[in-house]
Amino acid sequence: MRVVFAPDSFKGSATATEVATTLAEGWASVRPRDDVRVLPMADGGEGTLDAFESVIPGSRRMPVAVTGPLERETRSIRAYWLLLPDGTGVVELASTSGLTLAQPLAPLEAHTLGFGQAIADALDHGVDRLLLAIGGSSSTDGGAGVLTALGARLLDESGNPVLPGGGALCSLASVDLTGMRELPASGAQILSDVNNPLLGPQGAAAVFGEQKGADASERALLEAGLHQLADLLGASSPMASASAAGAGAAGGTGFGLLSWGAKLAPGSEVVGASLGLPSEVSRADVIVTGEGRFDAQSSAGKVAGYVAALPRQQHASVMLVAGSVEAAVDEFAQVRSLSELAGGAAASMADPLRWIREAGASLAASESRAV
């Protein structure tokens, strides 16, 4: 049989490449003659660079030094963006301004300046197109840091640049976009699995502020700052819509990038198309996907839901492996939970690759019995 392994990363436990490879190893231990294809996936969050690099031959890491999400001026984070053979640059927010880089969490001070610096570096190298993966943000700055790195001037009433971070946006008095860098020739796509608007009860501060360390009073301050940014930026850029689906992604970074002229796109769909996943799935007998936690959001743009919805042969089976399963799984022929296999969440997280391999072997054994 032809078997495709296309999981996302298991956040905090294993990369998508590790998950896909280990699942395939487990499967091969039971069914060594099957034709397996390993295609680690991502939805625009952490691991997007790894997914592209592991599958697209000729991809090149482009090192860059950027300002960390809690720094002011010093470029202290060693990161990289990915140059694809067709001239596309892939830049990942998680590796430049991400949540794991902002320790301890500082919701009012964290910013996206480093992400913008990496984008600027890709532009300096003459990329023809940009794919901007914005999951895993540590900040709620509305993309102000990105815009600053790309040449915008965000000023207070005295004409001085506002401090980085969402907490300073309330002091914003004017926005000057005349010095902004131009988009590359073939444009820029924002990769995200979030459809939230910028403002309001479903907005960036209200929904995602708490996971970035903001308490109720800090979320209110961040919301007020985003309102200020939306009013001024909306007046300066016809492309900036605070109500646009996805404008609230990554603490409002989606909004900032929209004002630059970038276009929002479903992260899983763009990554999958770039890796040739639809074609592979259409010819497969078995497709195995997965993620760390399968919940109610998984079918709304995340990797597992995207893979399950791809057109396939009538007889083909889609299987799921997840660290934990917390939602209906009717679309999958077989499901394996690492927590159940290991006898508990702590045991599965203590040695995730062991249980991922066990899951692959278990799925292969079930398929052999069915045949």
Give yes or no: residues 285 and 147 share one domain: no
The predicted structure's pLDDT at residue 194: 87
CATH of the domain at 313: 3.40.50.10350
Give yes or no: residues 234 and 283 share one domain: no
Using the CB atoms, write b or e for 47-68: b if 16+ within 10 Å. bbbbbbbbbbeebeebebebbb
Q: How confident is the model at residue 371 (pLDDT cuts 50, 70, 90)?
A: low
Give yes or no: residues 153 and 248 share one domain: yes
Is the confidence at residue 248, as pLDDT, over 90? yes
The rounded mean pLDDT for the chain is 95
Taking residues 220-228, what's their average pLDDT?
98
Which among 251, 268, 285 is the end of a domain? 268
Is the confidence at residue 296, as pLDDT, over 90? no
Integer Cα distance of 167 and 171 in angstroms:
9
Residue type, 158: S
The predicted structure's pLDDT at residue 236: 76
Is the confidence at residue 72, as pLDDT, over 90? no
Is the confidence at residue 283, as pLDDT, over 80? yes
Q: How confident is the model at residue 285 (pLDDT cuts 50, 70, 90)?
A: very high
CA angle, corner 112, sides to 217 and 169, nearest 5? Answer: 45
Taking residues 72-99, what's their average pLDDT?
93
Which among 221, 237, 268 is the end of a domain? 268
Dihedral sign computed on CA atoms, order 20, 21, 26, 28: positive
The predicted structure's pLDDT at residue 240: 81
Count of structural domains, the chain: 2
Residue 327: give the domain boundaries: 2-39+276-370
Integer Cα distance of 166 and 347 in angstroms:
38
Give yes or no: residues 60 and 34 share one domain: no
Give yes or no: residues 217 and 318 share one domain: no
The predicted structure's pLDDT at residue 46: 87
Give yes or no: residues 170 and 285 share one domain: no
Give yes or no: residues 251 and 313 share one domain: no
What tens digit of pLDDT does each residue of 183-192 get?
Answer: 999 999 999 9
Q: How confident is the model at residue 301 (pLDDT cuts 50, 70, 90)?
A: confident
Looking at per-residue confidence, does 1 or 46 come out higher?
1
The predicted structure's pLDDT at residue 135: 92
Taking residues 73-92, what's their average pLDDT?
93
Is the confidence at residue 75, as pLDDT, over 90? no
Give yes or no: residues 26 and 55 share one domain: no
Which among 268, 293, 327 is the end of a domain? 268
Looking at per-residue confidence, does 45 or 255 come out higher?
255
Taking residues 301-309, what's their average pLDDT?
91
Give yes or no: residues 167 and 55 share one domain: yes
Give yes or no: residues 297 and 176 share one domain: no
Element (H, E) at 113: helix 113-124
Give yes or no: residues 289 and 221 share one domain: no
CATH of the domain at 67: 3.90.1510.10
Compute and round to an integer the Cα radius of gyration of the chain: 21
What tens digit of pLDDT does each residue of 144-168 get?
Answer: 999 999 999 999 999 999 999 999 9
Give yes or no: residues 61 and 148 share one domain: yes
Residue type, 71: E
